[in-house]
């Protein structure tokens, strides 16, 4: 099932499928590691869910919910 990255709960893992952002934002997210086929894990959900931390490659990246919603991922089974 493909869902926005923002819907992952802490501890869930998925694989990046596509970035539905403006070209400059998509390029920056890709540079940060959110590239197609890349595994990503939700590490922490912010208390008000407006920001969350995700592990991608060897880094933990904090994203606003609006940016995370533009990253489409396939849930790991």
- The answer, yes or no, to whether residue 77 has pLDDT greater than 70, is no
pLDDT value of position 49: 76
Taking only Cα atoms into account, the Rg of the chain, rounded to an integer number of angstroms, comes to: 11
What b-and-e string marks burial along 45-56, b requiring 16 or more CB atoms within 10 Å of the CB?
A: beeeeebbebbb
H helix intervals, 12-64: 23-32
Per-residue model confidence as pLDDT tens digits over 3-54:
999 999 999 999 999 999 999 999 999 999 999 999 999 999 988 878 999 9
Q: How far apart are CA 24 and CA 19, in angstroms?
A: 11
Q: How far apart are CA 51 and CA 24, in angstroms?
A: 20
């Amino acid at each position: 099932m493909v869902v926005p990255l923002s819907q992952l709960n802490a501890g869930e893992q998925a694989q990046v499928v596509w970035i539905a952002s403006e070209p400059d934002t998509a390029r920056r997210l890709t540079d940060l590691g959110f590239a197609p086929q890349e595994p990503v894990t939700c590490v922490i959900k912010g208390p008000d869910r407006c920001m969350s931390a995700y592990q991608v490659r060897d880094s933990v990246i904090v994203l606003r919910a609006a940016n995370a919603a533009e990253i489409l991922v396939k849930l790991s089974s």
